[in-house]
Copies of this chain bind each other. A is one copy, B any other.
Amino acid sequence: MTTSDAASPERRPHVVIIGGGFGGLAAARALARAQVSITLVDRRNHHLFQPLLYQVASAVLSPGDIAAPIRWVLRDQANVDVLLAEVTRVDVADRRLHFAERSMEYDVLVVAAGVGHDYFGHDSWAEHAPGLKSLDDALELRRRILLAFERAEWCGNPDERRRLLTFAVIGGGATGVELAGALSEIARHSLRRDFRHIDPGDARVVLVEGGDRLLASFRDPIPARARAQLEAVGVEVVTGQRVTNVDAEGVQLGQTRIDAGTVIWAAGVKAPPFVASLGGPQDRAGRIVVEPDGSLPGHPEVFVIGDLAHHRHPTRDLGPLPDHPLPGVAQTAIQMGKHVARCLNADRAGWPRPRFAYKDLGSMATIGRSKAVADVAGLRISGLLAWLMWLFVHLMALVGFRNRLVVIAQWAWSYGTFQRNARLIRGSEAPDSVL
């Protein structure tokens, strides 16, 4: 499996890309015509359209609708090998990637492994408040949400029933806002006729944000509009309160207690453990503080892109960002991935590498049926128009023709009927009884 064959004069540089998300795929594709041999390593076999992951958690879409095998996405690009494996460590001095039992040399490394949630040092909270980063996470959330209604239906104790029907979402970023809106919609519309002993519309959805506003990365007046739209669909919004404890029964916010049957974590950002082995400067979340060209300081052959990169250099649209990295969205990762190819082409031609220049294409978040906020091309809009824009952008961006058609069909059906049919409770952890 080693690709080092230095004796051969025709040997192509071996580019290893860690991660088949937006950044990793963009880098691989941008190198399609380069005289390199690429290995794309991911611990999952699929690329995930993460912006729609909350729709799997909220039972609108099925996993297959928002994921495609990485192998299949890259099937026509002959210079790419795909490897299903988890990286445990990188030895940058030796230019070698380590897996559990084997290793692989590289000439150029692109680290695009993404980030996880941060429980701010309380990893024990994860059990009671799962996050939303992978398909497995989304299915686990879906399972918990649907089971809460099943349990409430057969629960004789009014306090416990009330607790079961309370959903707390921690984190007022895009994921938290979208999940809270979707949960309210499930309860008030989708499940309306399915139960005999409870009214799912009695469900309480609480969105908790430690800062003083939702969607803090959006410009005014979007944070306030998002809050108003969430409250209009029945979500309770709590800002300026930090979570001090999470247990099996609910959430503690200082003196305030929220008894909740389901707690969902959508806050914080944390780099995966192997990133520390790169030896570069890391910010508090563990992200690598990269050079203006996106490389690891002292190692021009290693690039760090996407959510894992802390890019604090002046860029075309945003100007200097002394303390904040670029927004952790698909567009940032895609632009950085393409930039890697430009740098390698420059290296080959003997030119200086270009700086990475971020082009802000705008941001948007959806809140529910016909409700969204968007900040695109200088326009800050909300409501139906923002929602239609959100719909269009996400449909166009979905990987693969088949997914797009099926998702349009599901959405049209969900919109027309208020129903959600991906409401399956699965998994070996599923209790055999709600009694």
Contacts and interface: CB of A to CB of B under 8 A. Distances in A.
Contact of A434 (B46, B83, B196): B83
B75 A434 contact: no
Interface in A59-100: 62-65, 67-69, 71-72, 75-76, 78, 81, 83-86, 99-100
B193 A425 contact: no
Nearest to A79: B196
Contact of A64 (B68, B101, B421): B421
Interface in A258-306: none
B433 A63 contact: no
A85 B139 CA distance: 20
A417 to B, nearest CB: 8
Contact of A154 (B1, B101, B413, B426): B1
Interface in A223-254: none
Copies of this polypeptide in the complex? 2
Nearest to A68: B421
Interface in A390-429: 400, 402-403, 405-406, 409-410, 413, 417, 419, 421-428
B45 A435 contact: no
Contacts of A64: 62, 421-422, 424
Interface of A: 1, 43-46, 62-65, 67-69, 71-72, 75-76, 78, 81, 83-86, 99-102, 135-136, 139, 146-147, 150, 154, 156, 193-197, 400, 402-403, 405-406, 409-410, 413, 417, 419, 421-428, 430, 432-435
B62 A135 contact: no
Contacts of A423: 45-46, 69, 72
Contacts of A409: 405-406, 409
A65 B85 CA distance: 30
Nearest to A432: B86
19 contacts: A1-B435, A44-B430, A45-B146, A45-B150, A45-B425, A46-B425, A62-B62, A64-B422, A67-B424, A69-B421, A72-B423, A75-B193, A83-B434, A84-B434, A86-B432, A99-B433, A100-B435, A136-B427, A136-B428
B421 A400 contact: yes
A195 B76 CA distance: 10
A144 to B, nearest CB: 13
Nearest to A139: B426
A43 B433 contact: yes
A426 B140 CA distance: 12
Residue with the highest number of chain B CB atoms closer than 10 Å, among A45, A46, A146, A150: A45
A433 B150 contact: no
A435 B71 contact: no
A100 B426 contact: no
Given A45-B150, A75-B193, 17 more contacts: A1-B435, A72-B419, A72-B421, A75-B194, A76-B193, A85-B432, A85-B434, A85-B435, A86-B433, A99-B435, A100-B432, A101-B435, A102-B435, A135-B426, A402-B410, A403-B421, A406-B410
A381 B150 CA distance: 46
A381 to B, nearest CB: 31
Nearest to A413: B402
Contacts of A71: 194-195
A410 to B, nearest CB: 7
Contacts of A196: 78, 81
A46 B425 CA distance: 7
Contacts of A410: 402, 406
A74 B318 CA distance: 54
Q: Considering the complex of A and B, which 3 residue pairs feature the smallest CB-CB distances, nearest first?
A: A86-B432, A85-B433, A62-B64
A235 B90 CA distance: 44
